[in-house]
Chains A and B, each alone.
Chain A
Amino acid sequence: MSGVPFYAQIINLMAALLLLLAFAMLAQRRVLSLIDLFALQGLALAISTAVVAWGTHQPHLYGSTALTLLLKVIVLPWILHRLIRRLDVRWDVEGLINIPITMLIGIVLVVFSFNLAVPISQLASTVTRSTLGIAMACVMLSFLMMITRRKAIPQVIGFLSMENGLFFAATSATYGMPMVVELGIALDVLVGMLILGVFFFQIREQFDSLDLKHLEKLKEHQ
């Protein structure tokens, strides 16, 4: 790894950490720890964005760092914690498939996305282009998490962490998107979260549970 500047090494480390946290979220049984892991992932993302900004002298990325830190480490986990308290749902998360098998599928996904990313990252000219594969793997793992979880809140966390992966892909491959786009996405995520929060209450009022399998048979009983 000689010849790679020090800041790129830190970004690589953060990328590896993001991947590890994605796996940890996939394996996590408790919903409260899931939120903490999500906040940690946001923190790793913020640090890596700040390091990219510092290493490549792109001041506008400091703005995205601040936005990430505020939104994904403080506001969203706080909203989720409050939702869980209000909904009084501290149950263990049940997956559709057991955890070791989910992990194995996760490894296959990582191999797949690494392979997929190699030709793309060769086109990019940035120092951090090799982390594109990891960003892609994070998106895939979040997808997997949304598929394997049955309850509403873990699915929403999966959705949010997918956004983390996309954001990381943007910073690693192209040194960030224009500020307008980033602000737009951040606002979208926030508003989406609020709307989904309202949805949680509606779902629970209808079915007395946040289990999404009830949504599958809306038609059958009419």
Chain B
Amino acid sequence: MTLGAFISQLLQVAIALALAPLLVGWVNQCRAWLQNKSAPSLFMPYRTIRKLFMKDAVVAENASPMFRLSPYVVFGAMCCAAAIVPSLATDLPFASAADAIALVGLFALARMFIALAAMDIGTAFGSLGARREMFIGFLAEPALLMVLFTASLISGSTSLPTIVEALARREFAIYPSLAFAGVAFTMVSLAENARIPVDNPATHLELTMIHEAMVLEYSARHLALIEWASALKLFNYSCIGIAIFFPFGIAQGGDWAGVLGAAPALIAKLAIGGFGLALIETLSAKMRIFRAPEFLGTAFLLAVLAMLVNLLLGT
């Protein structure tokens, strides 16, 4: 492990932690612009997190230690994921510890803990949200795995840095399979990050909510960690998308000075991606929850088709 690799690893996690709320703020701002509303400040998520950290936590009487533990586990899992996904450089000492499949496992761990914590208190909303979250999760996970498998098949490895290096170095060619996988990945990310066609991130206290229903009982520092973790989740998903489908500009191999050039490229790509997300959220209406299997089934179908087409055509 060289010093350069160590620095780029640290820098990448630091940038993920720092920029994740900004990405959420940017998406909210774009959405407000597109809907002709006056936009909240770009730094609103930071202020929310700071405000929440300064408050005193209130925990329900019958809460078990798991309820207190969960926000830290979720936040930790998201930080680990941020360290694994090559967003700035591919020479990451930590990334060799886990490949793409383990990454999906990390997301599943976070989901399981947050769902258990939601059911821990025993309120109606919590259990309802947890059930829906698991319902969405078990449909979204296979599709996400299939997308990652498609990328692995093209590059011949499930390790994310290797995938990025193989995809960034290839010569220009049209990959129908990557196009399918891209659409499938977008659909999965929308569902996993509680975005509009599946869940509405702007609601509180509505019968249709999923993510918000699970975190209703949290307050103060716990809530701040969960908000930050969900911002990190959005950031991580965006970075996975960028790493697989637009890997140009990520620093390769031991070129740790390239990290400095990779950061502006990452920010530009995230800004475009965030605008795209806001556009999708503005143009589509929220689905009934029972339409979600069809939505995610389509994502799974596209991902499987991508893999099959890749096997047939991509030699």
Residues of A within 8 A of B (CB): 1-2, 4, 9-10, 12-13, 15-17, 19-20, 23, 27, 99-100, 103, 106-107, 110-111, 114, 117-118, 130-131, 133-134
Whether the pair A110, B308 counts as a contact (CB closer than 8 A) is yes
- By beta carbon, the residue of chain B nearest A114 is B312
Asked if B250 is an interface residue, CB under 8 A from chain A, the answer is no
Determine how close the nearest CB of chain B comes to the CB of A149; give it in whole angstroms.
18
Question: For residue A131, which residues in chain B have a CB less than 8 angstroms away from its CB?
Answer: 313
A4: chain B residues at CB < 8 Å are 173
B301 within 8 A of A: yes
New contact pairs (18) apart from A1-B313, A13-B176, A107-B301, CB-CB < 8 Å: A1-B315, A2-B173, A4-B173, A9-B173, A9-B174, A12-B313, A13-B179, A16-B176, A16-B177, A17-B176, A19-B309, A103-B301, A107-B304, A107-B308, A114-B308, A131-B313, A133-B312, A134-B309
Q: Bound state CA distance, A39 and B301, in angstroms?
A: 22
Q: Are B298 and A27 in contact (CB under 8 A)?
A: yes
| A59 CA / B171 CA spacing, docked (Å) | 31
Residues of B within 8 A of A118 (CB): 312
The chain A residue with its CB closest to the CB of B297 is: A100
Q: Is the interface of B mostly helix, strand, loop or mixed?
A: helix
25 A-B pairs within 8 Å (CB atoms) are namely A1-B313, A1-B315, A2-B170, A12-B174, A12-B313, A13-B174, A13-B176, A15-B176, A15-B313, A16-B177, A16-B179, A16-B180, A16-B313, A17-B176, A20-B180, A27-B298, A99-B297, A103-B298, A107-B305, A110-B305, A114-B308, A130-B312, A130-B315, A134-B309, A134-B312
Q: Report yes or no: A19 in contact with B305, Cβ–Cβ below 8 A.
A: yes
**What distance in Å separates the Cβ of B182 from its nearest Cβ neighbour in chain A?**
12
Is A1 in contact with B305, judged by CB distance below 8 angstroms?
no
Q: Is B135 an interface residue when CB atoms closer than 8 A count as contact?
A: no
Cα–Cα, bound, A133→B308 (Å)? 10
B255 at the interface (CB under 8 A from A): no
Verify A99–B294 contact, CB threshold 8 A.
yes
Q: Which residues of A contact B314 (CB under 8 A)?
A: 1
Contact A114 B311 (CB under 8 A): yes
- The 8 A CB mask of B280-315 against A (1 = contact, 0 = none) is 000000000000011001100110110011011111
Q: CA–CA, A2 to B171, complex, Å?
A: 7
**What's the least CB distance linking A113 to chain B, in Å?**
10
Residues of A within 8 A of B171 (CB): 2
Q: A103 vs B308: C-alpha distance in the bound complex, in angstroms?
A: 15
- For B180, the chain A residues whose CB sits under 8 A away are 16, 20
Least distance between A37 CB and chain B CB atoms (Å): 14
B43: Cβ under 8 A from any A Cβ: no
